[in-house]
Amino acid sequence: MASLSSLCSSSPSLKPKPAASLPKTVLNPPFPGKPTSLSFPIRSSKPLDVAAHSVAREIAADSSKSGGNSVPGKPKKGLEKDPQALWRRYVDWLYQHKDLGLYLDVSRIGFTDEFFREMEPRFQQSFDAMEGLEKGAIANPDEGRMVGHYWLRNSELTPTPFLKTQIESTLDCICTFADEIVSGKIKPPASEAGRFTQIMAVGIGGSALGPQFVAEALAPDNPPLKIRFIDNTDPAGIDHQVAQLGSELASTLVIVTSKSGGTPETRNGLLEVQKAFREAGLDFAKQGVAITQENSLLDNTARIEGWLARFPMFDWVGGRTSVMSAVGLLPAALQGIDIREMLTGAALMDEATRSRDLRNNPAALLALCWYWASDGVGSKDMVVLPYKDSLLLFSRYLQQLVMESIGKEFDLDGNRVNQGLTVYGNKGSTDQHASNTHLRNSYGCVRWKLIANCLDFYEDGKIDLKLLQGTRSALYANDRESVSVTVQEVTPRSVGALIALYERAVGLYASLVNINAYHQPGVEAGKKAAGEVLALQKRVLAVLNEASCKDPVEPLTLEEVADRCHAPEDIEMIYKIIAHMAANDRALIADGHCGSPRSIKVYLGECNVDALY
Ligand SMILES: O=P(O)(O)OC[C@H]1O[C@H](O)[C@H](O)[C@@H](O)[C@@H]1O
């Protein structure tokens, strides 16, 4: 078994995948007739507006009461419809990143010049905050940690030489390990294939969504190792994944990813997979890889059981921004995706989004549009419509990145703000035939208007421009604002850039609305609630055990169980716990049946005398 430290001392050897083996998407220039050079007026930075954040909060509070539309300078009128004026707006505002071949069109968002001027100084504050974050400030005060995903793609930025070495040596280890797995130097012990052919990735949330998006977007048609995911605790779903592997379980590399190393869903997935290995007579440890924080439960398990390899997750990288750490890079490299290109794309975008010139910073422009269109309080939804099949999972990826980062009850000063941006979307064309009627016509309620965030991807005439532009025009005609992001090719570089673009937009937007983008109190509440259910389950078991040890056995009604647990207010949860135990043959129903809670009388199949005292 290669230990964390020995793994991280090896040198890079993964050769970049030749461009020819990447998905081929050679494209036409996306904007026919687009001027070759655009002049963006250079604006001098205004002095910092110290009151800006509190103004924003007042606006946000008012806006949430009134249903929005009280952003500074935002007129209560329809969008510009004159074609000539729209063309000028398009040309004036079109952002282009030449090296990345990426375009951002914000012309179909109706912000005014006045709004832009008023927001500019506030953006300067957000840029300051971002600069501090990149220099190693404790940007997540709740968890007392730095936020360093930007360092992953440019290790020169790390605040200490130790972190730089950590990043570089881990990247080297990933490349070396992937190379040795792909080449067959590291072999599965009991497979006739003579090399690993499959990856089973076990993880959830940020430990699954990034790798899933990258695999869908970039894996070649015939990757050296094919990947599948276990990202739920559904036993049937896990069985299905294992069954589909069949005899290839013997040549499956199991990558278990969990930053905390203690997430129950991931732990359940691991236990189920280990069981499948035992039943097939295979030694799991020889095929298991852990990606987790050092000394976590998962890390200790992997170390003690002698797994094939362990890779670190860093404290200063959050789950939802971890795709450029070992979490996303290891599975990507094993699928033959050029991970150094992904990092380059992200680094180029990071550089562009450090610009303090708001007009020339694509992430700031995105954040500006989100703020304008949703009144700075998330009064509208964000619909992500990718017109490339390979980007199908981008909306799912962005759901976590945006909603977990922005959806917050309190701001940084402890004021209740109930912030959030709702993200959904499938594929552009599919949505055209499914949800777009709603998007175009319905307000649902005042807070359910639309931001269509169209990701248009043109591919050598293969995508029908009429449909894409038709959606944009139809939405606009009905006063639905949209942003269009265009990349010329879906490559590791452009995917890295897209991820970096949205990461920065989220950070800047969060700073504008004065919230912590890097913690997840909602999830903590969920984990706490899960812990409380577990504690209640123990009490229910103790009460049922006591009644079941009596002679004769005393079946109890749900009310009796709740009373004896001193938890009458939790009777519904007690019913669900008992129904679950009955479904798993741990509790026996004496009277009634689970579908009629009032009729139930229940006892345990076995009395555990030892547990009585
Ligand atoms: O990587 P893990 O520690 O297993 O966490 C998995 C997920 O857990 C929670 O849901 C967090 O809110 C996510 O941000 C995280 O990605």
Q: What is the pLDDT of residue 342?
A: 98
Distances (CA, A) of 20 to 215, 261, 338: 18, 38, 12
**Residue 587 reports pLDDT greater than 60:** yes
Q: pLDDT grade, residue 299 (50/70/90)?
A: very high
| Residues recognised as catalytic | 404, 433, 527
Give dist(CA 76, CA 83) in Å, integer. 21
Asked if residue 304 lies in contact with residue 133, where contact means CB atoms within 8 angstroms, the answer is: no
Q: DSSP character for 143?
A: T
Q: What is the pLDDT of residue 175?
A: 98
**What integer is the mean pLDDT of 298-322?**
97
- Comparing 538 with 463, the larger pLDDT belongs to 538
Distances (CA, A) of 127 to 123, 199, 511, 541: 6, 40, 9, 55
Q: Is 468 exposed, middle or buried (0-12, 13-18, 19+ CB in 10 A)?
A: buried
Q: DSSP character for 227?
A: E
**What integer is the mean pLDDT of 284-306?**
97
Helix axis angle, 161-183 to 339-352, nearest 10°: 150
* Protein residue with its CA nearest to atom 14 in ligand 1: 319
**Residue 510 reports pLDDT greater than 50:** yes
**Relative to the CA of 257, which ligand 1 atom is closest?**
1
CA–centroid distance, residue 254 to ligand 1 (Å): 19
Spatial neighbors of 579 by CB under 8 A, at least 6 apart, are 594
Q: pLDDT grade, residue 79 (50/70/90)?
A: confident
* Protein residue with its CA nearest to atom 16 in ligand 1: 206
**What integer is the mean pLDDT of 222-241?**
96
Using DSSP's 3-state secondary structure scheme, residue 97 falls into strand
Q: What is the pLDDT of residue 47?
A: 23
**Residue 574 reports pLDDT greater than 90:** yes
Of 429, 427, 428, 409, residue with least CA distance to 419: 409
Ligand 1 probe mutation, 145, 263, 524, most atoms within 8 A of CB: 263
Q: Name the one residue in this structure whose structure tokens are 């009644």.
A: 547
| Long-range contacts, 403-409 (Cβ 8 Å, 24+) | 404/320, 404/520, 404/522, 404/523, 405/320, 405/506, 405/507, 405/510, 405/517, 405/518, 406/378, 406/506, 406/509, 406/510, 406/513, 406/515, 406/517, 407/522, 408/515, 408/516, 408/521, 409/521, 409/522
**Residue 289 reports pLDDT greater than 60:** yes
**What integer is the mean pLDDT of 321-338?**
98
Using DSSP's 3-state secondary structure scheme, residue 482 falls into strand
**Residue 64 reports pLDDT greater than 60:** no
Of 30-39, 327-336, 372-381, 413-422, the one with minimum mean pLDDT is 30-39
Cα dihedral across residues 363, 368, 374, 377: positive or negative: positive
Please give the structure tokens belonging to residue 456.
């248009």
Of 372, 369, 368, 398, residue with least CA distance to 383: 398
Q: What is the DSSP string of 357-385?
A: -GGG-HHHHHHHHHHHHTTTTT-EEEEEE
Spatial neighbors of 162 by CB under 8 A, at least 6 apart, are none
Q: What is the dihedral of CA 163, 166, 167, 171, to 10 degrees?
A: 170
Please give the structure tokens belonging to residue 221.
């048609």
Give dist(CA 603, CA 582) in Å, integer. 10
Q: What is the pLDDT of residue 606?
A: 85
Q: What is the DSSP string of 230-291?
A: E-S--HHHHHHHHHHHGGGGGGEEEEEEESSS--HHHHHHHHHHHHHHHHTT--GGGGEEEE
Q: Name the one residue in this structure whose structure tokens are 């300067």.
A: 124
**Residue 608 reports pLDDT greater than 50:** yes
Q: What does the radius of gyration of the chain's CA atoms come to, in whole angstroms?
A: 27
Output the 3-class SS for 299-324: HHHHHHHCCCEEEECCCCCCHHHCCC
CA–centroid distance, residue 205 to ligand 1 (Å): 5
Report the complex ipTM: 0.98
- Comparing 94 with 62, the larger pLDDT belongs to 94
Please give the structure tokens belonging to residue 169.
């040596």
Q: Name the one residue in this structure whose structure tokens are 């035939």.
A: 433
Q: What is the pLDDT of residue 6?
A: 38
- For residue 554, the one-letter residue type is E
Ligand 1 probe mutation, 142, 145, 207, 322, most atoms within 8 A of CB: 207
- Comparing 449 with 156, the larger pLDDT belongs to 156
Mean pLDDT, the chain, integer: 83
pLDDT digits 0-9 by tens, 404-457: 999 999 999 999 999 999 898 888 778 777 777 777 666 543 334 445 555 544
Q: What is the pLDDT of residue 471?
A: 72
Q: What is the pLDDT of residue 25?
A: 24
Q: What is the pLDDT of residue 561?
A: 95
**Residue 88 reports pLDDT greater than 70:** yes
Phi-psi region of 177 (alpha: psi -120 to 50; beta: other; left: phi over 0): alpha
**Residue 597 reports pLDDT greater than 70:** yes
Give dist(CA 185, CA 313) in Å, integer. 25
Q: pTM to 2 decimals?
A: 0.80
* Protein residue with its CA nearest to atom 6 in ligand 1: 205
Q: pLDDT grade, residue 196 (50/70/90)?
A: very high
**Relative to the CA of 203, which ligand 1 atom is closest?**
4
Of 323-327, 350-354, 464-468, the one with minimum mean pLDDT is 464-468
Q: What percent of the chain has pLDDT over 90?
A: 62
CA–centroid distance, residue 315 to ligand 1 (Å): 13
Give dist(CA 74, CA 93) in Å, integer. 18
Of 47-56, 107-116, 510-519, the one with minimum mean pLDDT is 47-56
- Comparing 32 with 270, the larger pLDDT belongs to 270
CA–centroid distance, residue 256 to ligand 1 (Å): 13
**What integer is the mean pLDDT of 580-587?**
83
Question: Which residues are paired to 257 by β-bridges?
Answer: 291
473 C-beta neighbours (distance < 10 Å), count? 13
**What integer is the mean pLDDT of 29-34?**
30
Of 55-59, 112-116, 397-401, the one with minimum mean pLDDT is 55-59
Q: pLDDT grade, residue 7 (50/70/90)?
A: very low
Q: What is the pLDDT of residue 69?
A: 37
**What integer is the mean pLDDT of 331-336?**
98
pLDDT digits 0-9 by tens, 514-560: 999 999 886 766 666 777 888 999 999 999 999 999 999 999 999 99
Asked if residue 138 lies in contact with residue 146, where contact means CB atoms within 8 angstroms, the answer is: yes
Q: What percent of the chain has pLDDT over 70?
A: 81
Asked if residue 191 lies in contact with residue 181, where contact means CB atoms within 8 angstroms, the answer is: no
pLDDT digits 0-9 by tens, 365-399: 999 999 998 889 888 888 888 888 899 999 999 99
**What integer is the mean pLDDT of 218-230?**
98
CA–centroid distance, residue 390 to ligand 1 (Å): 25
What phi, psi does 24 have (nearest 5°)?
A: -85, 120
Q: What is the pLDDT of residue 17?
A: 34
Q: What is the pLDDT of residue 58?
A: 29
Pocket (CB within 6 angstroms of ligand 1)? 204-207, 258-260, 263, 266, 319-320, 404, 520, 523
Spatial neighbors of 344 by CB under 8 A, at least 6 apart, are 153, 493, 496
Asked if residue 8 lies in contact with residue 172, where contact means CB atoms within 8 angstroms, the answer is: yes
Asked if residue 342 lies in contact with residue 514, where contact means CB atoms within 8 angstroms, the answer is: no
